[in-house]
Amino acid sequence: MKTNQTFLSNLKNNISKLSVSPNIFLACLSGFLLFLSFPKFGSGLFAWVALIPLFFALRNAATVLQGFLLGFVTGIVGYIGIIYWIAYVIVNYGYLPLYVGILLMLILAAYLSLYVSLFAAGIVYFRGKMPVCLVAPFLWICFEYGKSYILTGFPWANLGYSQYANIYLIQFADVAGVFGISFLIILVNAALFDMITQKTKRTNIAAVVVFFVLAGVYLYGFCRVDQVNKAVEQSPALEVSLIQGNIDQSIKWDKNFQMETLNIYERLSLNNIPSPNSLIVWPETAVPFKFEEKSSMHDKITDLAANTQSWLITGSVSYTKRNSGNEYFNSAYLVSPSGDVMDRYDKVHLVPYGEYVPLRKLLPFVEGFTSSIGDFSSGKGFYPLTMNDKKIGVLICYEGILWNAARESKNHSAELLVNITNDAWFGDTSAPFQHFSMTVFRAVETRLYLVRAANTGISGIVDPMGRIIARTSIFQQDALKGNVRFVNVPTIYSRSGDILVAISYLMIILLFVVSLKGRVLWR
């Protein structure tokens, strides 16, 4: 009891000291800059200085606990701006009051902020013992990786994703993934902070080293773009037609609108027929019925593939009969130009409270999210669809932001990535823009073309260098035609994965051991 009282007393004292301090303003400023680093409201340029105000605040933190609290302030300000759309989804599709939606969004933002808190606490712990530019990048990667995996993981808006439009920088993702880009951003933030606050010979040397590291990454990007371009030019081509039906989520599963929905996709497909033996892609669950069940609507789709002489990928709910009842999957079907169903991919990584309901008995209010189709089961693995002698890796919705999904598809011989999604849930918020921006990295990490068909947008084509070749606007019926290639360019990241993450954990352990021995690596 005394221990708890002492902790609460210390916490109260630390909060009291912070409340009258300009450090709170600096922490808030960092959070605001993190928010501005992501689309649709900001620019990736802000990320390169976003943590500097927090570092200034942490310099004045008297205790590790104060550092933890300052990190929480930064995190909560940043994440409220980044994931405010969670409240929109909960209110509009969970059918809950606005205050409940806001509360649940704040709970998630608070949870995500804990990782920034731990990062900030670590900076205070190592302060005076190690240079910030040595500790901060490794520390950030450790906690960003943890955020991406713990409790099924939430890698949304990892810092590196802010640089999706920085073409020559992101080429480094085929070596170290998106975490490598996050590492560089924190490294630059920390080096700038050290230069501003210390202005010593060692600091200047460190800044020069960081400059050469960054310059080396950009030089690698210039060279790699040229190299991959040459490989792409020698690869077999394929014409694609991406269909964006813009079906309102409120009527998507209404049986009265099934034929109307199908007619929209048929019309858009017939008006944008690619050359024979090319590919038409419809979005996630574009088919508002169970496609595997033979019916006139099923035949309408297979006849479309046959009449256009095109391969067709479409999303649909599928099921397998079990003794205990049907087991449902979020699937993608491949239909051949002869109208035959050739292959099926079942989504592997499901979204909690969007596609399955953990803790259903404890949280009955979440039923609204899956009431229309029930819980999904997870697929067996990231196995590509087979189109003649070519392999197509499919990423359904959330899987587009998962590096392992694309890596495993690549390692199973995929030569093209197809991302199908339904972003109608998000409305006209920043979420569709954030979602699309993150898929750019899957193309760079694997050096594959990525095509994306989204029900309400953004649909697009991304080349193996991460360049957005074409894209649609959101909330409009549209179709996007373009050319892609089946590419086979090996990458270090596809083969070896997150080596940088392992190095980061080892480095933090090593630095912690050194600090316990009372050694100081920086003065």
List the alpha helices (DSSP H) in 198-257: 201-233
The burial class, CB within 10 Å (0-12 / 13-18 / 19+), for 504 is: buried
Please tell me whether residues 407 and 266 are part of one structural domain: yes
Q: How far apart are CA 339 and CA 316, in angstroms?
A: 16
- Which pLDDT score, from 0 to 100, does residue 300 have? 95
Please tell me whether residues 55 and 110 are part of one structural domain: yes
pLDDT in tens, 265-310: 999 999 999 999 999 999 999 998 889 988 999 999 999 999 999 9
Residue 328 CA to chain centroid, in angstroms?
A: 25
Say yes or no to pLDDT of 224 above 80. yes
Q: How far apart are CA 250 and CA 256, in angstroms?
A: 12
Q: Please state whether beta strands 311-322 and 450-454 pair in parallel, antiparallel, or not at all (unpaired).
A: unpaired
- Give yes or no for a contact between 316 and 287, defined as CB atoms under 8 angstroms apart: yes
Catalytic residue among 133, 142, 397, 399: 397
Say yes or no to pLDDT of 41 above 70. yes
pLDDT in tens, 112-149: 999 999 999 999 999 888 889 999 999 999 999 999 99
Instruction: Give kind and range of the element (H or E) at residue 320.
Output: strand 311-322
Only one residue has tokens 């900076």, namely 123
Handedness of CA 480, 483, 486, 492 (dihedral sign): negative
Residue 1 lies in a domain: no
Instruction: Provide φ and ψ at 522, rounded to 5°.
Output: -155, 135
- Which pLDDT score, from 0 to 100, does residue 338 have? 96
The residue among 201 and 306 whose pLDDT is bigger is: 306
Residue 297 CA to chain centroid, in angstroms?
A: 34
Residues with Cβ within 8 Å of residue 517, at least 6 apart in sequence = none
Please tell me whether residues 210 and 321 are part of one structural domain: no
Lowest model confidence (mean pLDDT) among 74-78, 94-98, 149-153, 374-378: 374-378
Catalytic residue among 147, 252, 347, 410: 347
Q: How far apart are CA 467 and CA 483, in angstroms?
A: 14
Number of compact structural domains in the chain: 3
Q: How far apart are CA 40 and CA 367, in angstroms?
A: 30
Residue 138 lies in a domain: yes
Say yes or no to pLDDT of 428 above 80. yes
**Helix (H/G/I), strand (E/B), else coil: 241:** strand
Query: What integer is the mean pLDDT of 315-332?
Result: 87
Residue 3 lies in a domain: no
The residue among 363 and 33 whose pLDDT is bigger is: 33
**Helix (H/G/I), strand (E/B), else coil: 385:** strand
Q: How far apart are CA 97 and CA 305, in angstroms?
A: 44
Token pair for 47: 């990320």
Residue 114 lies in a domain: yes
Q: How far apart are CA 401 and CA 512, in angstroms?
A: 32
Query: What integer is the mean pLDDT of 192-206?
Result: 88
The last residue of a domain, from among 83, 105, 127: 127
Handedness of CA 425, 426, 428, 433 (dihedral sign): negative
Q: Which residues of 172-181 are buried (b: 16+ CB within 10 A; e: fewer)?
A: bbbbbbbbbb
pLDDT in tens, 227-272: 999 999 999 999 999 999 999 888 888 888 899 999 999 999 999 9
- Give yes or no for a contact between 253 and 288, defined as CB atoms under 8 angstroms apart: yes
Please tell me whether residues 256 and 151 are part of one structural domain: no
Please tell me whether residues 378 and 287 are part of one structural domain: yes
Q: How far apart are CA 376 and CA 178, in angstroms?
A: 29
Cis peptide leading into 458, omega within 30 of 0? yes
The last residue of a domain, from among 77, 96, 127: 127
The burial class, CB within 10 Å (0-12 / 13-18 / 19+), for 275 is: middle
Residue 6 lies in a domain: no
| Beta bridge pairs of residue 315 | 332
The CATH number for 315's domain is: 3.60.110.10
Mean pLDDT for all residues in the chain:
91
| Percentage of the chain exceeding pLDDT 90 | 77
- Read out DSSP for 125-143? HHTTTS-HHHHHHHHHHHH
List the domain range (segments joined by +) for residue 151. Answer: 131-235+495-523
Residue 352 DSSP code: B
Please tell me whether residues 185 and 253 are part of one structural domain: no
For residue 72, the one-letter residue type is F
In what order do the strands lie in the sheet containing 390-396? 385-387, 390-396, 416-421, 450-454, 460-462, 468-471
In the residue annotation, 284 being an active-site residue is answered as yes
Only one residue has tokens 């590196």, namely 160
Token pair for 128: 């005076």
- Which pLDDT score, from 0 to 100, does residue 252 have? 82
In the residue annotation, 129 being an active-site residue is answered as no
Please tell me whether residues 152 and 264 are part of one structural domain: no
Please tell me whether residues 38 and 184 are part of one structural domain: no
Token pair for 269: 């497909």
- Give yes or no for a contact between 285 and 330, defined as CB atoms under 8 angstroms apart: yes
Say yes or no to pLDDT of 361 above 60. no
Q: How far apart are CA 70 and CA 80, in angstroms?
A: 16
Catalytic residue among 284, 355, 415, 445: 284
- Which pLDDT score, from 0 to 100, does residue 516 have? 83
Query: What integer is the mean pLDDT of 439-461?
Result: 97
Please tell me whether residues 244 and 218 are part of one structural domain: no
Instruction: Provide φ and ψ at 379, rounded to 5°.
Output: -70, 170
- Which pLDDT score, from 0 to 100, does residue 217 have? 98
Please tell me whether residues 402 and 258 are part of one structural domain: yes
The last residue of a domain, from among 97, 127, 157: 127
- Read out DSSP for 40-96? TT--GGGGGTTTHHHHHHHHT-SSHHHHHHHHHHHHHHHHHHHHTHHHHHHHHHS--
Please tell me whether residues 345 and 434 are part of one structural domain: yes
In the residue annotation, 397 being an active-site residue is answered as yes
Residue 180 lies in a domain: yes
Residue 177 lies in a domain: yes
Lowest model confidence (mean pLDDT) among 11-25, 165-179, 282-296: 11-25
Which residue from 183, 185, 187 is spatially nearest to 175, judged by alpha carbons?
A: 183
Query: What integer is the mean pLDDT of 138-167?
Result: 95
Residue 2 lies in a domain: no
Query: What integer is the mean pLDDT of 462-476?
Result: 97
Please tell me whether residues 55 and 137 are part of one structural domain: no
Cα distances (Å, whole numbers) of residue 335 to 139, 304, 380, 495: 47, 10, 21, 31
Token pair for 71: 């990190």
Query: What integer is the mean pLDDT of 480-504?
Result: 96
- Read out DSSP for 168-189? HHHTTHHHHHHHHHHHHHHHHH
